[in-house]
Amino acid sequence: MYLQGTSKINQLGHLEIGGVDTVELAKQYGTPLYVYDVALIRERARSFKNTFESLGVPYQVAYASKAFSSIAMVQLANEEGLSLDVVSGGELYTALKAGFPPEKIHFHGNNKSIDELAMALEANIGCIVIDNFYEIDVLSSLCRQMNKKVAVLLRVTPGVEAHTHDYITTGQEDSKFGFDLHNGQIEKAIELVKNQSHLQLLGIHCHIGSQIFGTEGFVLAAGKIFGKISIWKEKFQFVPKVVNLGGGFGIRYTKEDDPLPMNVYVEKMVEVVKGHSEKLQIPLPEIWIEPGRSLVGDAGTTLYSIGSQKVVPNIRKYVAVDGGMSDNIRPALYQAKYEGALANRMNDECSETVSIAGKCCESGDMLIWDLSLPTVKAGDILAVFCTGAYGYSMANNYNRIARPAVVFVENGEARLVVKRETYEDLVSLDLPLKAEVGQP
């Protein structure tokens, strides 16, 4: 069994994370429960940062908070000296509430609303990543109205296909994100932004996809961007101070995945950006990256309680847990694969192959197909590994299932960082069909 970070099997044969017995966590906080290995998040953050520092280049590592945004998580990112990528008013609000330094926040999104942009300007955030022509218009008039200046990056679609599932590939030409790098759109955008005194054009951004296992895609994308920089330099006297190559670094969900150590991506990016800059005789731009999954993905484990079972003779055994696509929609959305184990009986021999079903009213609500486990009983605790990214952040209330709690564990201590939703929370925004007596 592959255990990540501080996860290990303790003397009771239980799964332990961050020095805390997960069976005890399930008892104390209930299930489903997301458990984050804080030491592993810190290790990942440091590995990105230390690599840049050892290479002596200017950089920013921005945590893509869409992977998992909560006040404690944002504070942890800040403790580790990361910048922060937000993609909505909600993520920005969370960051500001958490006391994250606004000048280290980067705001993304293909359809930021006027209110969201105004909120970002009001907070004096570090930069806005402009995605399209409409946004140039809206942002520049807002800046004039509010008498604000803001640094911007222009997001480009470099036409590089990342080797990953289609649904989460954003770098192809046919993408809803960014300015096309090859059909004249980006040049038009550069001209427009350069003519706006309230917008300070800092550089270029691209994000070619997610769960990428090689460095080739990043090399290709950087090559295409620098190919254009030589033209922009002549035509617009524009040389980016920042080149943001996005996130997307792959992690190990199952034994089929063979990720690179994070330093390898950084070393390659630095080598390529340095090489191109020297060739073009331009100052080395700051290299920014924005990892999400690779910072928090394998640091997260979801604990479930096992309930009902159904045997379809000669076909399969379904084992149901007390969560499902409401706390982890990735298997249903992307056919994402996970591994799991019985947290309360880690040393027991595997004796059967079962498929883990969620409790939602959807046949597609299956978390893991064909998982080897010891003979499973109701009440066992199933740990599903590597659920730290796009798990809680994509959690929903389908079937009016309340969202789980989140616990951080580190050095033998557990800390509740997101409370479990209650039934009362679920109806808290609802209003009755008819006004009650005495109510408007």
Ligand X SMILES: Cc1ncc(COP(=O)(O)O)c(C=O)c1O
> Residues with catalytic annotation?
361
What is the rounded radius of gyration, in angstroms, for the C-alpha atoms of the chain?
23
Alpha carbon 363 to chain centroid distance?
A: 27
Lookup result for tokens 């550069």? 190
Q: Please give, one letter per residue, the 3-state secondary structure of 78-131.
A: HHCCCEEEECCHHHHHHHHHCCCCHHHEEECCCCCCHHHHHHHHHCCCCEEEEC
Q: Please give, one letter per residue, the 3-state secondary structure of 275-304.
A: HHHHHHCCCCCEEEECCCHHHHCCCEEEEE
By CB under 6 A, what part of segment 408-427 binds ligand X? Answer: none
CB of 150 to ligand X, least distance (A): 18
What element of type H or E holds 29? helix 22-29
CB of 49 to ligand X, least distance (A): 15
CB of 108 to ligand X, least distance (A): 5
Residues making up the binding site for pyridoxal 5'-phosphate: 248, 290-293, 390
Choose between 193 and 389: whose C-beta lies nearer to ligand X.
389
CB of 247 to ligand X, least distance (A): 3
CB of 261 to ligand X, least distance (A): 15
Kindly determine how many residues on this chain lie close enough to bind ligand X according to the rule CB under 6 A: 17
Choose between 250 and 340: whose C-beta lies nearer to ligand X.
250
Phi, psi for 204 (deg, rounded to 5):
-125, 145
Q: Does 403 bind ligand X (CB under 6 A)?
A: no
Q: Does 259 bind ligand X (CB under 6 A)?
A: no
- Supply 15's token pair: 């799964």
Is the Cα dihedral 340, 345, 348, 350 positive or negative? negative
* 367-391 per-residue burial string, b: 16 or more CB within 10 A, e: under 16: bbeebebbebeeebbbbbbbbbbbb
Q: Does 247 bind ligand X (CB under 6 A)?
A: yes
Phi, psi for 165 (deg, rounded to 5):
-65, 135
Residues making up the binding site for substrate: 293, 330, 334, 362, 390
Contact 379, 322 (CB under 8 A): no
Lookup result for tokens 């402009």? 130
Give the angle subtended at the CA of 437 by the CAs of 433 and 438, to the nearest 5°. Answer: 120
The rounded distance, in Å, linking the Cα atoms of 386 and 404 is: 16
Segment lying near ligand X (by CB under 6 A), choices 233-241, 244-252, 356-364, 374-382: 244-252
CB of 260 to ligand X, least distance (A): 13
By CB under 6 A, what part of segment 304-363 binds ligand X? Answer: none
Choose between 240 and 248: whose C-beta lies nearer to ligand X.
248
Task: Give the max Cα distance, the chain.
Answer: 77
Segment lying near ligand X (by CB under 6 A), choices 196-204, 247-255, 257-265, 423-431: 247-255
Choose between 66 and 198: whose C-beta lies nearer to ligand X.
66
Contact 98, 417 (CB under 8 A): no
Residue (of 42, 98, 35, 41) closest to 71 by Cα position = 98
Binding-site string for ligand X from residue 286 to residue 315, where x marks contact by CB under 6 A and - marks none: ----xxxxx---------------------
By CB under 6 A, what part of segment 191-230 binds ligand X? Answer: 207, 210
Binding-site string for ligand X from residue 366 to residue 385, where x marks contact by CB under 6 A and - marks none: --------------------
Among 126, 159, 217, 246, binds ligand X (CB under 6 A): 246
- Supply 176's token pair: 């809803």
By CB under 6 A, what part of segment 1-60 binds ligand X? Answer: none
The rounded distance, in Å, linking the Cα atoms of 258 and 212 is: 10
Choose between 248 and 285: whose C-beta lies nearer to ligand X.
248
Contact 49, 61 (CB under 8 A): yes
Choose between 127 and 389: whose C-beta lies nearer to ligand X.
389
Segment lying near ligand X (by CB under 6 A), choices 243-251, 268-276, 355-363, 423-431: 243-251
Cα dihedral: 366, 367, 370, 373 (round 10): -130
Choose between 293 and 345: whose C-beta lies nearer to ligand X.
293
Choose between 67 and 118: whose C-beta lies nearer to ligand X.
67
CB of 430 to ligand X, least distance (A): 32
By CB under 6 A, what part of segment 161-180 binds ligand X? Answer: 170
For residue 426, count other CB atoms closer than 10 A to its CB. Answer: 14
Among 159, 217, 248, 300, binds ligand X (CB under 6 A): 248
Residues making up the binding site: 248, 290-293, 330, 334, 362, 390
By CB under 6 A, what part of segment 104-123 binds ligand X? Answer: 108
CB of 64 to ligand X, least distance (A): 4
Q: Which residues are at the interface with ligand X (CB under 6 A)?
A: 64, 67, 85, 108, 170, 207, 210, 246-249, 290-294, 389
